[in-house]
Structure 1
Amino acid sequence: MASLFQKKLTLKKTHDFCAVKQPKLTVVFIHGIASDSSTFNNAIKYLEGTTSLRDIRFVTFDLLGSGKSYASDELNYDYKDQLEALHNSIEKLKLTTPLVLVGHSMGTFIATRYADTYKKSVKHLILISPPIYTEKDLENPAFAAAIKVFRDAVSVKNRKILEEKAFNSSMEKIVLDKKNYKTLANLKTYATLICGDADQFIAAFNLPKVLAENPKYLTAIKTIGRHGVSRDKYSKMVNVLEKILNA
């Protein structure tokens, strides 16, 4: 069997559908930590049932260490691993359309870093519930308390996840990466941030700050929701996707 370092890292594709034979746009969804692509099931059902979006191809993947994708102690579960696997998986789609990435929570970091790494390959980003923390925030002792709240919430769903390398390494090397805010503030890909007023896991006070630092490329839509990919979030995506389709 080929070792991890002799084969290309790829992700498990869990959904790939378009209502027409020749789509005009491809949307790839990237889920967050302690989750999998099923995060977007309701959103995709809603979007695929929207007549104005029939020309869009919708694709989901499980990230490394999540769902049905590859998992191994050999992996670091850092940006390098996840971006390599995502890029290889997107290349396998053999796209003939522009690409939009939709990220949720940690998936917003991966989507943003992908666009920053591969530059012109992404037409637009839709970032749902992005945890916008500055380097100063990450060094604040109060932030540790916020992380504990999140870990406790994960534990309620599945305590075993907290013991997995995929979770702990992703938390350390992606979620807590000090460059996340700077990457977003300096982004040169158009991005729409969709944030809930009742979101318990994002630093809402940083939203106007990062928008002011990058007004050309970043815009935001606020909803009444919490952190999850609920209808208040994905219903807002319709207008964004319609504008991208018609651009």
Structure 2
Amino acid sequence: MFDRLIHRWLRVPYKLYVHDFQRPKHPLATVVLIHGIGSSSAMWQRVVGRRRINKTTRVLAVDLLGFGNSPRPHWKTYDVKTQVDSLVATLAQQKVDGRIILVGHSLGALVAVHTARYYPSLIDSLILCSPPLYHQQGKDRLAERQLRALYQKIIDKPALGKVIASDFAKKYKLFNPGFLVDESNLQIFLDTLDAAIINQKALTEIAELTMPVEIFYGQFDPVIINKNLRKLAKQKHIAVTKILASHEIDKRYGQVVAQAINRHAIGDDYGQA
């Protein structure tokens, strides 16, 4: 009851679980890693492992609301704004200041874009991995409508959601490490798919940003709309790179992202990967 009073009626944002991968005493920059839908901070090991990130950079990862070790309130609307409110409150609690670089994968990329759009003074630059950027409904193209229809089918038929959460998916490594959807958060997964991915404004928001943005996506990613990314690449502050990968971050993809993080941390935003 106390929890609901604080967070539902007084609208105090929940704080997210934070994992510090490295925390130097006087960081030159702070990198905040934001995972994709159904995953957790554990997915970033392929990026930050083996001491790939410059030791002068603080690197922390969050578990988004509803996933990993963060709270899972079942009354919440799991849209991007809700996640951003908790992210910003968590960064304040962690006393993160100075240059902040947001790195988001999939859903995390949408959260990063919304954060930068509404808190531009906090964010120095963005690195977006496999971002599912779509036009708003009514303005979307055929490929986007087909993807939305597929997402809606998953929502309407919970049995499909259970397949996503199955041991089969985990056994054959269809998702990043740290992916965990079970009976405790399956409905949250489906609500997030609806509120944050089917219904989104990220493509409009990213076009309104002025800070450096670097986007990576896999050549075989089934949820990416190539035309949308090619159009964004025409803007001076946005760099887009296609790599040999799918949607998830494998070892090679992780190395590319780690190199980008180091460039952004030293201020060389658009060096070669």
TM range (shorter): 0.7 to 0.9
Give the aligned residue type for 1:227.
Answer: H
Conserved? CA contact 1:137–1:143, under 8 Å: no
CA contact (8 A) 2:35 2:106 kept: yes
Cα distance change, pair 162–216 in 1 and its aligned pair in 2 (3 A): farther
More moved, 9-18 vs 99-108: 9-18
1:12 aligns with 2:22: no
Per the alignment, residue 221 of structure 2 pairs with 199
**How far 1:106 sits from its partner (Å)?**
0.7
Question: Is 1:41 aligned with 2:45?
Answer: yes
Pick closer, same or farther for the CA change 1:111–1:141 going to 2, 3 Å: closer
Match of residue 31 from structure 1: 35
The separation in 1 between residues aligned to 2:164 and 2:232, in whole angstroms, is 28
Alignment partner, residue 80 of structure 1? 81
Whether 2:26 is the aligned partner of 1:22: answer yes
User: 1:171: Cα distance to partner?
Assistant: 1.2
> What TM-score do the two structures reach when normalised by structure 1?
0.86
Give the Å deviation of 1:43: 1.4
Which is further off, 106-115 or 193-202?
Answer: 193-202
Flag the 1:222–1:113 CA change in 2: closer, same or farther, 3 A. Answer: same
**Residue aligned with 2:68, SS:** coil
Where do 1:92-171 residues align within 5 Å? Answer: 92-135=93-136, 136-137=140-141, 141-144=145-148, 146-147=150-151, 154-156=164-166, 157=169, 160=182, 164-171=186-193
Match of 2:260 in 1: 240
Change (3 A) 1:165 1:188: farther
Kept in 2: contact 1:155–1:162 (CA 8 A)? no
Distance in 2, Cα, partners of 1:243 & 1:44: 14
- Aligned equivalent of 1:185, options 207, 213, 236: 207
- Residue 24 of structure 1 and its aligned partner are, at CA, apart by 0.7
Q: Is the 8 A contact 1:11 1:62 kept in 2?
A: yes
- Residue 237 of structure 1 deviates from its aligned partner by 2.5
Instruction: State the shift of 1:162 in Å.
Output: 10
Measured against aligned partners, the alpha-carbon deviations of 1:76-116 in whole angstroms (never above 9, x if no partner) come to 11223211110010111212430001100011000000000
Going from structure 1 to structure 2, the CA distance change for 1:100 and 1:22 (only over 3 Å counts) comes to: same
Provide, for residues 182-215 of structure 1, a one-character-per-residue CA deviation record: whole Å limited to 9, x for no partner: 1122222211001111112211232212222xx1
Q: Would you say how many aligned residue pairs link Structure 1 and Structure 2?
A: 241
Aligned partners of 2:129 and 2:144: how far apart in 1? 24
Counterpart in the other structure of 2:55: 54
* Aligned-partner Cα distance in 2 for 1:163–1:138: 31
Structure 1: runs of 5 or more not aligned: none
Counterpart residue identity of residue 238, structure 2: L
1:223 maps to which residue?
243
Which whole-Å CA distance do the structure 2 matches of 1:83 and 1:141 have between them? 26
Once the two structures are overlaid, the 10-residue window that deviates more, 152-161 or 35-44, is 152-161
SS in 1 for 2:121: helix
Distance change in 2, residues 1:140/1:40 (3 Å):
closer
Q: TM-score, normalised by structure 2?
A: 0.79
Secondary structure of 1:121's counterpart equals coil
**What do you get for the CA RMSD once the two structures are aligned?**
2.6
8 Å contact kept, 1:132–1:204: no
Taking only the aligned residue pairs, the percentage that are identical comes to 24
Quote the Cα distance in structure 1 between the aligned partners of 2:249 and 2:28: 25
Find the residue that maps to 1:120 and give its secondary structure: coil
The letter for the 2-side match of 1:176 is I
One-letter amino acid matched to 2:56:
D
Is the contact between residue 28 and residue 102 of structure 1 (CA under 8 Å) also seen in structure 2?
yes
